[in-house]
Structure 1
Amino acid sequence: MPEQTAPAGRAPRSPHSPRPARADALRNRDHILRVAERAFTEHGVTGSLDAIAKQAGVGAGTLYRHFPTREALLAELLAARDEHLVARREALRDGSVDTGDALHGWLDAVTEWAGTFDGLPEPLRAAASSDSSPLALTCQGFITTTDEFLRAAQRSGRARADVRARDLFLAALATSWVRGAAMADDSSSAALSALSRRGWEAPALP
């Protein structure tokens, strides 16, 4: 009997590998994501996952099979919003922007991204210090990109040499938290962003 081969460009499937997800399971997953995005937008990230499952018309077990934790659900929702952030990053990378302004622009983009849902900065902060959170890889990617902009600013003398990318990422999360805080006014996050810049920016040469 001749050996069976997979279609061109596709590796043969192991007899022990899981079968592709059924179409209805994929539909359930996509529907849960849509409902969760609406719920987190309206009520913040601390809302009940069981309530999200109920609104989606599925059992809690179905939701947890797709997204075992709140962080796994958030990681998937944030990944779907990457396109705008990637465009911001590439625009700042093109060399036409001063390296200090590019770093400041990137940190502003991170601040805006971290405010996607009310309460999001806290699980992101926790994930930045964890290897097990589904959001850890997301945070590490942001820290790596922040480090790229920071090193460019340091090489050109626009940022202090003792500043760390992780600290700047956490500062951006703090600024985002202030933006969403009930006691903050419209100028609070801008003021904190300006204070942060004064903290990392190198003194101007005489």
Structure 2
Amino acid sequence: MSLDAPNDDRSGLRADARRNRDRILRTAVHHFTSHGIGASLEDIAKAAGVGAGTLYRHFPSREALLEAALREHQLELLETSRQARGIADADAALHTWLTALQDYLRTFNGLPAPVLAAVKERASPLALSCDTLVTITGEFLARAQSHGHARRSVTANELFLGALGIAWVLDKADAYGTTRRALEAVFAHGYLRDGDDGADGGSI
């Protein structure tokens, strides 16, 4: 995922190979949406009408298939980032971005796990996407910090990991007796009362 738009890996493919790849990808999106990121790759290949070998020629790993399946959502997220840059209030802009980021990280059930792994494992096909998301998060954070809304001690990577953690539990929030609003309030303001932690105050 680049700062402008994801690349199209179909260039240079024969027409029949391109059709196979597109069919696999459409099927994968459907299965990941229905069954989460652990959906069977064999079932995806079968439903797409191709053999497992064909699937792996186009997508050598589950992470590679996930990265491709996320691209439409990545474009939507990038568009949100562009719109958020136009928000005059730095705090509101950061909040808009973090909300959109959390929603993106919930595209498929279980997605935070491979994204977290990609933060550590640089060889993952998802690693470049993570780098971009952290970079954009850093842009909004730096603006909020320069306007006095966010603590200087917070880093873009920490804020990204916090958003990832919130995304991980949001689908289960109701089952555990909480809400998205409550979780985001703790994420944004901490759990200390104003003044309890000195100069930092407890805000982001």
Structure with greater Cα Rg? 1
| CA–CA distance in structure 2, aligned partners of residues 53 and 183 of structure 1 | 35
Structure 2 unaligned residues grouped into runs of 5+: 1-10, 191-199
Q: 1:44-123 residue pairs with structure 2 within 5 A?
A: 44-96=36-88, 98-123=89-114
Q: Deviations over 1:64-86 (max 9, x none)?
A: 00000111011111112223212
Matched position secondary structure for 2:113? helix
2:3 equivalent in structure 1: none
* Paired AA for residue 178 in structure 1: V
1:79-138 C-alpha deviation (Å, 9 max, x unpaired): 122232122111210142x11121121111100000001010111111111210000000
The runs of at least 4 aligned residues of structure 1 exceeding 4 Å deviation read none
Deviations 1:162-195 (CA, angstroms, capped at 9, x unpaired): 0011111111111111112376368533211111
Matching of residues 121-136 of structure 1 within 5 Å: 121-136=112-127
Q: How many positions carry a matched residue from both structures?
A: 184
Give me the whole-angstrom Cα distance separating, in 1, the residues matched to 2:35 and 2:188: 31
Aligned to 1:176: 167
Q: 2:119 aligned with 1:164, yes or no?
A: no
Separation of aligned partners in 2, 1:186 and 1:41:
25
Paired AA for residue 73 in structure 1: L
Q: 1:31–1:56: 8 Å Cα contact kept in structure 2?
A: yes
- The one of 154, 161, 166 aligned to 2:145: 154
Aligned amino acid, residue 130 of structure 1: E
What TM-score, normalized by structure 1, do the two folds share? 0.83
Q: CA RMSD in A?
A: 2.1
For 1:115 and 1:52, locate their aligned partners in 2 and report how far apart those are by CA, in whole Å.
21
The answer to whether the Cα contact below 8 Å between 2:173 and 2:179 also exists between their aligned partners in 1 is no
Letter in 2 for 1:80: E
Deviating more after overlay: 46-55 vs 81-90: 81-90
Deviates more, 1:122-131 or 1:181-190: 181-190
Name the residue aligned to 2:5. none
Q: Identity of counterpart residues, as a percentage?
A: 48
Q: Distance in 2 between matches of 1:33 and 1:191?
A: 36
The TM-score, its normalising length taken from structure 2, stands at 0.84
- Unpaired segments of 5 or more residues in structure 1? 1-18
